Amino acid sequence: MALDPSSGYIAARDLQDFNESSLPIFNVEPVQLQFSIASDFVAAQVANNVLVLALANGRIIRIDLDNPADIDDIDLPKKTSEVGVIRRMFLDPTASHLIICTALGENYYLHTQSRQPRPLSRLRGVAIECIAWNPSLPTSSTREILIGASDGNVYEGYIETSTEFYRKEDKYLKTLLKVPDAPVTGLWVDPITSKPGADVRRVIIATQSRLLHFIGKIGRVGHDGGSSIYTRLFETEQPTVHEISRVASTPSALVVSPDTTSSTHTEDLEPDRSFAWLQSQGVYYGRLLTSPATPELGTKLFAEAKFLPRSQLPASESSGGRKKAIQSPIDSIALTQWHILHLVEGRVIAVNRLDDRVIFDQAVLDPGQQALGLFADQQKNTFWLFTTQEIYEIVVTDEDRDVWKVMLQTEHFDAALRYAKSPAQKDAVATASGDYLISKGSYLEAAGVYGKSTKPFEQVALTFVDNDQPDALRKYLLTKITTYKKSSTMQRVMIASWLVEIFMSKLNSLDDTIVTKAELSETLNPAQTRDQLDTIRTEFQDFVKKYKSDLDRKTTYDIISSHGREDELLFFASAVNDYNYVLSYWIQRERWKEALDVLKKQTEPEIFYRYSSGLITHVATDLVDILMRHSDLEPRNLIPALLGYDRNFQGPLSQNQAVRYLLHVINHLQSTDAAVHNTLISIYASHPSKDETALLNYLESQGDEPSFDSDFALRLCIQHHRVQSCVHIYSTMGQYLQAVELALAHSEIDLASIIADRPVSNPALQKKLWLAIAKKVISQSNGIKTAIEFLKRCDLLKIEDLIPFFPDFVVIDDFKEEICAALEDYSRNIDALKKEMDESSQTATNIKVDIAALDHRYAIVEPGEKCYVCNLPLLSRQFFVFPCQHSFHSDCLGKKVMEQVGIGKGKKIRELQMSISKGMVAGAKRDAAIAELDALVASAW
């Protein structure tokens, strides 16, 4: 056989651009190998997308279907003339281990990472018919496996790869059981769920006439495979046996369904694997149940299994087109997830395991063409047919597409709904399921199913109404509303409103039952009725929370109110954030605590503005506590409520809650809103108490730049005779004279004195204020001496300022001392003035002497001295010399001065220069002009 390294295969699953929905579930497609073979296939295996083919010439071909160019060509260690033709091959599900059996009893082991088969000496002469691989699917070694032989023996073996020449691959081989009706045609081992720490396994052994089911604990599993683990199971447990009459030389096999793929449903109807036993009379199949993990498991498994006789399969046709009288036996079988594949005289027949219906029957092989059998890839869920010359893949497309129909026909509605894929399929299942439940009187269950169907709404609703099933109707409507989109506004509103009516009727009915203590109720006693009442109320609340956007407020209010359900009414209003309704409801009923509880949960400022007027009259303290927690409120919007409260308040200012809130806004929130400050002043000023302490403290805290309206505050204080406050306001406005006059008008001498000291920067005003005070004091004083003592507090007033205020007839002795003190002050002042005059005269004399000395000053100019401006010899023309020794030509200095002096002086210098240079003046006038010019230039510089 010549191999092409780029060879591969083409199967139906590699074809693109086909419509999967139009394809049959099964289709048999030939696999076209791109290499030629020199001899026929004699054995084949497939696992984990690896094909292993044995040829009649003793060669083994291993092909990786994921990489078809990866082909291994392997020869047996000996020629077929010595060991015989390859009879069977066994490949584990991971494609890691391959056991090769020849016709002369030689057995070989080949690991996936090796290209040279090694002989199994302990298995020499054993005609292997089947192998049960280790459930853990190891890859480095086989671990413990079971081997069935043609002589009826069941062995336990352990095989591993060995690189040492003298080390054997088969570590041990132990005989576990010998069945009388040889050969052993099938073996299966799987773990069974049991108690933690207990390793329970199931072993199924198949012969041509019997099926044995073992279950029990195995021995301790060793790491090196040095001892048997199945001996304990076979020695201590008795099998459950299913037996038939034996027919000689008929095909027999035990197959198990492959692993489920990701495309299958997560909620499978059959979570357990399925098995099928091919026997002389047909196929015996069922589920590999996993509970209970007791010996009764085998009995239950066989009791639930079914038998598909050969007679139910289509008979083969003769060459003339007529059915054969004698039916041919089944050559081979394989299990898919939902079907049994049969190979009968070159025909592939697929039967649905759920209803034994033949869904596929296709002739694949030509008459006389020999088949090696059907094979399944347990891990990849692919299926194959091998002949001596060709390979076919049985392609499975959407295998579970009709499962829902079968489940529906057998009234397994839940399973049918799980396997229904399209909306139309699900709707058909739901409708049929609902009709079935209605016929059985299961209205509640039917309601949930009908809600997901498209059965006419009116028909379903009338069914429940006519049968007096409000609970079922409620469940139906709750389910139905979920099927409508948000855009179906009218339908959703209608159903939601109907549900509110049903809920209210149910709640009232339960309340009436509780009130009347209807212990003789057919279904519920009073205690159970109360529990149901709580359940229905909770269900209603959940409904409102979920579908509040579908409930029309006015309609819902009307429905609930008509039933008198206060709690439900308020719950709905709260759920839809209609807190205006809730607050109005409680306030109208003067339920202040409940109203405050609702208000505490609010964040919308408008609600506080709207309801503060009603609440502050009755629960002022609690309301203010709530208001103070909301810094986002606009205090001016609460002023009407605060003023309304103050008008009716009877008590001290310290307990006035309006004052408390306003002070919080001013002191903690730092409000500068004039309306807020004016409101506080209004409350302070209008309070009946004569004490101005609180008002005055507030006014003083505002400083010189108050936030209140001074004119408004002044008018209010004058209106309510708050003298001290008025005086303070006048003072802050800078109207000290009015402040002092007001204080004096109310005989507040001390207060007037304080105000008079404030205009420190204006001594004249300060003196005027004190004169006004002095006049008042003198006019009120009983004794002149007392008045004089008071006026000593001010240093601005003298005795002569006060004399005009005394009465015309005053005895001078009363203020003789003050007059004497004043005269002495005058005398001291005169002496000081004389001394200052003498010092001024001396200073003038000294200045005259200095001026006279200036006339005799001179400066020495060296012959080479230059002008500091033009840098030419200084003596060339008229020049100026300064005491700092800087020297300038007069014209150069004039130009320099012109750049720096102002416009007026510059113009004057320019005019004098023109007059002198052009001879416009002569004689004494010219000399005067020159002197003036020199003076201007020299002084400017």
Percentage of the chain lying above the pLDDT 70 cut: 82
Q: What is the pLDDT of residue 159?
A: 92
Residue 816 lies in a domain: no
Q: What is the pLDDT of residue 107?
A: 94
**How many Å apart are CA 527 and CA 546, to the nearest integer?**
29
Q: Which residues contact 377 (CB under 8 A, 6 or more apart)?
A: 46, 47, 48, 49, 258, 383, 384
Residue 815 lies in a domain: no
Q: How many other C-beta atoms lie within 10 A of the C-beta of residue 13?
A: 12
Helix (H, G, I), strand (E, B) or coil at 276: strand
Write out the DSSP string of 686-705: HSS----HHHHHHHHHTTTS
Q: What is the pLDDT of residue 8?
A: 36
Helix, strand, coil abundance in the chain, percent, nearest 5: 45, 20, 35
Q: State pLDDT tens for residues 428-456.
A: 888 888 888 888 888 888 888 888 888 88
Helix H segments across 746-807?
A: 749-756, 763-780, 784-791, 799-802
Decide: 117 and 110 in contact? Cβ < 8 Å: yes
Q: What is the pLDDT of residue 16?
A: 36
**How many Å apart are CA 926 and CA 606, to the nearest integer?**
94
Q: Is the peptide bond before 183 cis (omega within 30 degrees of 0)?
A: yes
Decide: 599 and 629 in contact? Cβ < 8 Å: no
**How many Å apart are CA 324 and CA 879, to the nearest integer?**
155
Q: What is the pLDDT of residue 499?
A: 92
Q: State pLDDT tens for residues 25-50.
A: 899 999 877 666 778 899 999 999 99
Q: State pLDDT tens for residues 246-283.
A: 766 678 999 999 987 654 444 444 456 899 999 988 99
Q: What is the pLDDT of residue 924?
A: 76
At position 856, the amino acid (one-letter code) is H
Average pLDDT of the segment spanning 56-67: 89
Q: Which residues contact 110 (CB under 8 A, 6 or more apart)?
A: 60, 74, 97, 98, 99, 100, 116, 117, 118
Q: Which residues contact 874 (CB under 8 A, 6 or more apart)?
A: 861, 865, 866, 867, 887, 889
Element (H, E) at 235: helix 231-236
Q: Which two tokens stand for residue 553?
A: 């407020």
Q: Which phi and psi angles does 841 have, rounded to 5°? A: -65, -40
**How many Å apart are CA 72 and CA 349, to the nearest integer?**
33
Decide: 861 and 886 in contact? Cβ < 8 Å: no
Q: How many other C-beta atoms lie within 10 A of the C-beta of residue 125?
A: 11
Residue 423 lies in a domain: no
- Residue (of 500, 554, 515, 508) closest to 533 by Cα position: 508
Residue 805 lies in a domain: no
Residue 239 lies in a domain: no
Residue with tokens 């060709």: 390
Helix (H, G, I), strand (E, B) or coil at 384: strand
Q: What is the pLDDT of residue 268?
A: 45
Q: How many other C-beta atoms lie within 10 A of the C-beta of residue 241?
A: 12
Q: Which residues contact 441 (CB under 8 A, 6 or more apart)?
A: none
Starting at the earlier edge strand, list the strands of the sheet with 253-256. Answer: 253-256, 274-279, 282-287, 306-309
Decide: 477 and 448 in contact? Cβ < 8 Å: no
Q: What is the pLDDT of residue 109?
A: 94
Examine the fold and report which residue of 371, 398, 425 is the final residue of a domain before the chain moves on. Answer: 398
Q: Which two tokens stand for residue 72?
A: 């291994």
Q: What does the mean pLDDT of the chain come to? A: 82
Higher model confidence: residue 756 or residue 730?
Answer: 730
Examine the fold and report which residue of 374, 398, 422 is the final residue of a domain before the chain moves on. Answer: 398
Residue 415 lies in a domain: no
- Tell me how many degrees the CA angle 441-443-445 measures, rounded to the nearest 5: 115
**How many Å apart are CA 298 and CA 289, to the nearest integer?**
9
Helix (H, G, I), strand (E, B) or coil at 766: helix
**How many Å apart are CA 846 and CA 933, to the nearest integer?**
29
Q: What is the pLDDT of residue 492?
A: 92
**How many Å apart are CA 889 and CA 35, to the nearest integer?**
124
Q: Identify the band that residue 331 occupies on the pLDDT scale cut at 50, 70 and 90.
A: very high
Higher model confidence: residue 665 or residue 7?
Answer: 665
Q: Is the peptide bond before 292 cis (omega within 30 degrees of 0)?
A: yes
Q: Which two tokens stand for residue 63?
A: 């092909």
Higher model confidence: residue 473 or residue 929?
Answer: 473
Average pLDDT of the segment spanning 730-740: 76
Decide: 635 and 679 in contact? Cβ < 8 Å: no
**Residue 411 C-beta-side C-alpha neighbours within 13 Å:** 6
- Tell me how many degrees the CA angle 366-47-212 measures, rounded to the nearest 5: 90
Q: Which phi and psi angles does 400 have, rounded to 5°? A: -90, 20
Decide: 909 and 932 in contact? Cβ < 8 Å: no
Helix H segments across 806-902?
A: 816-854, 890-900
Q: What is the pLDDT of residue 838?
A: 80
Helix axis angle, 470-481 to 457-466, nearest 10°: 160
For 309-343, b/e burial (b = at least 16 CB within 10 A) is ebeebebeeeeeeeeeeebebbbbbbbbbbbbbbb
Q: What is the pLDDT of residue 803?
A: 53
User: What's the chain's Rg over C-alpha atoms?
Assistant: 60
The total domain count for the chain is: 2
Helix axis angle, 749-756 to 736-745, nearest 10°: 170
Residue 3 lies in a domain: yes
Q: What is the pLDDT of residue 191?
A: 92
At position 702, the amino acid (one-letter code) is Q
- Residue (of 187, 352, 369, 373) closest to 283 by Cα position: 352
Higher model confidence: residue 920 or residue 881?
Answer: 881
Q: State pLDDT tens for residues 239-256.
A: 999 998 876 667 899 999
Q: State pLDDT tens for residues 193-209.
A: 766 667 899 999 999 99
**Residue 192 C-beta-side C-alpha neighbours within 13 Å:** 25
**How many Å apart are CA 237 and CA 213, to the nearest integer?**
10
Residue with tokens 């109907």: 498
Q: Which two tokens stand for residue 24?
A: 């049959």
Q: What's the domain range around 893?
A: 874-940
For residue 1, is pLDDT > 90?
A: no
Note the Cα 936 to chain centre separation in Å: 89
Helix (H, G, I), strand (E, B) or coil at 795: coil
Q: Identify the band that residue 215 occupies on the pLDDT scale cut at 50, 70 and 90.
A: very high
How, if at all, do strands 210-217 and 200-206 pair? antiparallel
- Residue (of 655, 591, 597) closest to 626 by Cα position: 597
For 570-600, b/e burial (b = at least 16 CB within 10 A) is bbbbebbeebebbbbbbbeeeebebbbebbe
Q: Which two tokens stand for residue 326?
A: 């004698």
Residue 817 lies in a domain: no
Of 131-140, 761-770, 880-889, the range with the lowest mean pLDDT is: 761-770
Decide: 258 and 381 in contact? Cβ < 8 Å: yes
Q: What is the pLDDT of residue 522?
A: 52
Q: What is the pLDDT of residue 15?
A: 31
Examine the fold and report which residue of 398, 425, 443 is the final residue of a domain before the chain moves on. Answer: 398
For residue 515, is pLDDT > 70?
A: yes
**How many Å apart are CA 351 and CA 310, to the nearest integer?**
12
Q: Which residues contact 67 (CB under 8 A, 6 or more apart)?
A: none
For residue 174, is pLDDT > 50?
A: yes
**How many Å apart are CA 474 and CA 500, to the nearest integer?**
9
Q: Which two tokens stand for residue 847?
A: 């200045």
Q: State pLDDT tens for residues 762-775.
A: 666 666 767 666 66
Q: State pLDDT tens for residues 799-858.
A: 555 555 555 545 555 556 666 665 666 667 777 778 888 888 888 888 888 777 766 777
Decide: 107 and 159 in contact? Cβ < 8 Å: no
